[in-house]
Amino acid sequence: MSEPSASADFPFESHYVRVLGSRMHYVEQGEGCPVVMLHGNPTSSYFWRGVIPHVAQVGRAIAFDMIGMGRSDKPEIPYRIYDQCEYFAGFVEELGLEGIHLVANDWGTAVAAQYVAEHRDNVRSIAFIGNIVTPWPTWEHFGGNSPSRVLWRAYRAPELGWDLCVNEHLFVEPVLRHLCVEEPSRDVLEHYLEPYVTRESRRPVWQLANDLPIAGEPKDFYETATNYCGALASSGLPALLLYYPEMAPAVEAYRNFLLDLTVVEVDGAHHYMPEDQPDRVGEEVTQWIRLQRDDV
């Protein structure tokens, strides 16, 4: 098995801030305009370890752990995507971050988009890293007949999904192996598995799998996702999309509602792009931030 492109090392000092009564973990490097990196499911701030040193050249690179994930606390909450959005907004407020650049992957994209919908004046730009931001109108749009579609249908089945994700702990490792080009090393997988040693700790990954807006379900978040796409469209924000080759058919959809959009294809990458191509992602994001800054 070949080694992944990103080193397994995580050489950053841990910081914590209290949000809504719980501690949220984050790491940071650099100074200046805040560039906040949002991970998804089932990753954490660790996901951005190869990107942070690049971004720190042009700003204050901040990568946090969503509530219930990584090294953040695990309060007794439902872990709906709405909870993640509320805790992220609180995180930004508690750190006093202003004029932020958002860099997001996977569910981090939804959290970032909802933040734009509610706090447009505090955002300078948004970068989508190997991700789809729009809801999927049908299951055929979500992966066609690919293994992804089969896998997520199983995760969303009422009893089977809970059994797979929570009881059998068959979400974190299979998803990372399936959605990276290079199969992650054992050391990398252990970093991602560490927060989920108990059944109770796995609820966040199960809940986010079930909140994906597919074929009109769940109804509340499907509507929310539709609305935040509208908010992005009207925001006028400069946007960057780094996409992998298999994502090419979705690029036109981004172009249709994001008028100020820059797109860059990244070869040798899949959905969890910073694992496959950390330096390329870091370089592209750094160049993007330089273009958006008004003080250089």
E strand map for the chain: 15-19, 22-29, 34-38, 60-64, 100-104, 123-129, 239-243, 261-265
Those residues whose C-beta lies under 8 Å from the C-beta of residue 127, and which sit 6 or more positions away, are 101, 102, 103, 104, 239, 240, 241, 242, 285, 288
Q: How far apart are alpha carbons 62 and 55 in whole angstroms?
A: 9
List pLDDT tens digits, range 232-262: 999 999 999 999 998 988 898 888 889 899 9
Q: Which domains does the chain have, with CATH numbers?
A: 15-135+223-292 (3.40.50.1820)
Q: Give the per-residue pLDDT at 5.
A: 62
Residue type, 55: V
Helix (H, G, I), strand (E, B) or coil at 36: strand
Q: What DSSP line would sit under 174-192, residue for residue?
A: HHHHHS-SSPPPHHHHHHH
**Would you state the pLDDT for residue 145?**
64
* Regions in the chain scoring below 50 on pLDDT: 1-4, 295-296
Q: What is the pLDDT of residue 34?
A: 98
What's the rounded Cα separation, in Å, for the pair 87 and 191? Answer: 23
Positive or negative, the Cα torsion across 175, 176, 182, 186?
Answer: negative
CA–CA gap between residue 282 and residue 277 (Å, rounded): 9
d(Cα 133, Cα 18) in Å, to the nearest integer? 29
